[in-house]
A and B are shown apart, each in its own frame.
Chain A
Amino acid sequence: MMIDRRLIREVDWVLLGLVLLPSLIGVFFIYSSSHFLAGNYYFRQLVWIGVSLIALVFVLVIDYKFFVSLSVYFYGLTVALLAATLVFARFIAGTKSWITLGLMQFQPSELAKIVLILLFARLFAEYKSSYLTTQRMFFALLLAGVPLILIILQPDLGTAMTFLAIIGGAFILAGLRRKTILVFLLAAIVVGIGGWSVGLKDYQKRRLTTLVNPLHDPRGSGYQVIQSKIAIGAGGLSGKGFMKGSQSQLRFLPARHTDFIFSVIGEEAGFLGVLTVIGLYFFMLARMFSSVSKARDRAGVYIIFTAALLISFQFLVNILMIIGLFPVVGITLPFISYGGSSLLTNFVACGLVMNVRMRRFANV
């Protein structure tokens, strides 16, 4: 399948640049925060960036409409994979979310995010009424609920939360009435209270109480937030310099190269570094959301919007979490944190956005 020359002209090179730049910044800080560990994380991340770029090209080559039309099969496959993960996978860091494919370890729950984006695009492609009906809403919730429950069972609270972002995004786009929002809020409160007393694990409860008062448990889950805030605050305006942060180099920071990599940036590059990275994200997200207006059809709008929301949500939760404004849930900073599955997912999501924008003219 050859790609049209005109299509290459339409590729959103700006967005690609805005995605690659944070990815490369990420490699530097992964190096800074893990060079004393065995495992060459920065190199592995570079390889993953390469793999992700290939995947992105692959996503670009095929018309998104084709993906949307296949989304039901993808969905079935993903649910099966998630179920298999739950049965066969070994526990890693307390959860069963990884499966091993040859040399690579992969999280099917990451793949599920993409599938959900495509599935909802298909579900709402012909949905022209200005508000979401209860019937359709329940159907959508049912579809999303199956993989969601499988993920909660792993248990992987972070990914489950990003799922809610995608679902919520699609519903907002389809149009939520005030009444529906109220029902959702009520349901959230009931589930929240019920979940607190029944469903949440102790460590998850601790994370929530820690948000209110990190000193409540300074050696346990409060420790991460305290150390992270110390690192960020100690960075000051211009930071302590690359590979010179005492919090990260002396390992006071937890999960330095994954969830808490932005703390390393805050410590070593200071507020200027933070401003630069957050600025890059702002332009990246602005570029993605602006592509909404370039989409040719409703399915395209849904794809761009939910994909952009997926990245926005992870980004916001991560930067709020490491500074103590959000509970510590295992959500990484997209493109920057170490981790192949999440990198791949975000690149693919980005590829879908570019795919829709690229094919915005009906006659090609």
Chain B
Amino acid sequence: MLEFLRSLWFRIGSRVRRDSLDSELADELRAHREFLEEEARRTGATEDEAARMAALRLGNGTVIRERTRDAWSFGWLEALARDARYAGRFLRKSPGFTTVAVLSLALGIGANAAVFTVVDRLLLRPPPLVTDPGNVYAVNVRRISNPAKPRPFYSAMMFRETLALQETARSFTAVVPYTAPGRWRLGRGPDAPRIRGSMVAGNFFTVLGVRPALGRFFSPDDARPDVAEHAAVISHGFWERHFAGAPSALGTHLLLSGVDVTVIGVAPRGFSGVEMDAADVWVPLESVAPIRIQSNWQEWDGFGSKAFVRLRDGVSPTAADAEATLILRRLPDREKYGKSEETVRLGSVIPGRAVAEQPAEVKVSSRLVIAAALVMLAACANLANLLLVRALTRRREIALRLAVGITRRRLVGQLMLESLIIAGLGAGAAMLAAQWGGGALRSLVFPQMQWASGTLDRRVLFFSMACATAVALLATLAPAIRMTRADVALALRSASPQLAMSTGRWRQGLLAVQVALSVLLIVGAAAFGQSLRRAYDFDMGVDVNRVITTRLFLEDDSLDGAGRRLMLDEARRRARVIPGVERLSIAESVPLSGNGVTRVSVPRGDSGFSVVWSVTPDLQETLGFRLLSGRWIQPEDARGNPVVLVSETMARRLWPEANPLGQCARFGADSAPCREVVGVIGDLRTRSIREEAPMAALLSTRELDLDELGAYLVIRASGDPRKLMPQLHNAFRDVRPDLATVEIKTLSEQLDYDYRPLRLGTAMFGMFAVLAVILAGVGLFGILAFSVAQRTSELGIRSALGARAGNLVRLVVGEGLVIVVVGLVVGGLASWYASVAVQSLLFDTTVRSAVPFAAAAVLLGVVALCASAIPAWRAARVDPAIALRAE
């Protein structure tokens, strides 16, 4: 080691003093020559003879100097630098090849890295910044409402349930109830922005073990119903957005949906609790819930609470499940809250391993990983192909260099170095692509999410680069070794077809692989696209495309029902005169805003839970329900016996054999009046296009109960509803000076949650498919162009023997088509079997149907024809005289 260092030092020193060393060596050699000459003269030689003898004994001065310099220099390192310069020059001289090679690598690696950075966080990591996340579990509750016909579903909990766990469960060291982040108004005025707020139990932060970035988290004193002022912790992102990251944020008052809170702390960057979507602000459940929900919020019958727990050491999750299940089933007054059979299952807080249904984006993202890997494979195949072709076109150059004496080792080394440079450039470009693409992808898929880490993941990048490098080296090494072994004379004399033939199979195979990968991606994109189309067209039971819902809030919610009605009447009067407003009604709730569920029962018959909706006669038409049989609710119904319209599903389930019209059903408590069914409407979806149609019912009502929450105006536009929105906004602002907030949305906007994963799949699969198709097109073009160039003389002979241009074109196009067809068949089969991976994510679409496969075939067919056009044209124009003379 010491010796190595000394030698290194000597070399470095030599490097610096090179010129003086050179002259020193020259002096030394001169001195030596003089000694020799003197010796020769002593034996009686003449001057000339002495000089000749001396030169003979000393040897070739240049060789000596060269060899000596080897001792001074870094030999291999300098050779490497020279080779790198040479390779760089060569790559610059063929910019087309270099660009395509680098780009295909950049896209392949970049796509992978970008997708993985998203998916890694979603599927594989516990929520960031949580201490010891291994024993933090989410509490999932599986409910069966009718044990006779079990339809289990996972739901959130009631506060009384989570609070009971908190008080009695011994399996946990802590139970933390909280609410999922919802949209809260920030400040006053009609244009008050919405932020995401969450109510959390006072022990939320301490149980998760996070430390504040600024200020403090909740103390037990903050988490009491009788606090002097409500405390709030804000997220790091909100702190930067709203307070520009200033420490003076502490102590600031915020008005959150009418609740005055004081900022006491800032959460660290990237912290999002155990949810994927971060809240902007957290407030103590114990102090704020009495205001935001109701004074006895613990008894509220809504499924408003979520919870996570820390498991006690030594308790197995299964044992904890059993204890928690028992606690829930032993709660008092269960009848009152809508009886169901609860089973608790603790689930991982790592999203990819959650027990309850994963968000669709998470699932789509995990498929995107596969798609990105396919792109990577296609890129590698393309690169290999490019390198193989390139190796062939360089045969003469390589033969020449071998002929003038370069060693094989050095030559192969040089070729590999070129590939390494390409891989390096590709990796560099990929980093840019991943940085940009990862950021874009994150904001596309999870606009709400806060990210603790950067977009670049070192492991992914490293892995992708290793793949790219391995491919580049393999694709170079094989032909390089063959070529350098080839008979130099033969290679120089003619373009020997031998090598072209032997690598031809490989190249065609690689291209077929690329085509097959493209098929997979196109089929995926087409299936997602079709799903998106179907989702847009899906019948929700109401007319989502032309309906706008508006919600009016007053600053102090002091208005009673009558006051509210006055305000709404005024708003209605102003809105009605806006051109383009076709119908307009008042409603207490609107579709897709999480409608309430009530127990429904048929006397001496079946029972279950139903979505219910109190409607005025005009509302049923404004929303565009479809009446299948019977009649609408009439104004007279409000005065007489209560009636009901039931959905198709309810009709089928409650009266499987009988005609539902004229039957009666009871909604709510057993003391409620039995309502006569006067009509059947088309099925409704109230939360998502994906949900199975729930039982739903429209109840006649005398007067809407507007004391609850805000009130809605439902407007049906005659044209594009979006155009009405600014005018509506202006109209409502004039209604009352103290009008706090107007929220105007189209119904279809609220379905965005459903559309988003499909859009994501369509966009990403589509983009990847385009990349893969372009790569395949470029690859095909390369192969055919090369093949035409190789076969110029053959084509010339054919042409001389009387082949027409058409025949030659067919020859070339045919070669391409065979490859594409093989790729299509392989890719088609692969897609057929791989379709199970995405099938569950699609909407009303089967992968194994004609459209996706036809799309792939047509698209690739067109690309193949385009790619063969120019080579075919060249083949057709081969002049036999020139072609034959050229050899």
The yes or no verdict on A and B being binding partners is: no
Q: Measuring CB to CB, which residues of chain B are less than 8 angstroms from any residue of chain A?
A: none
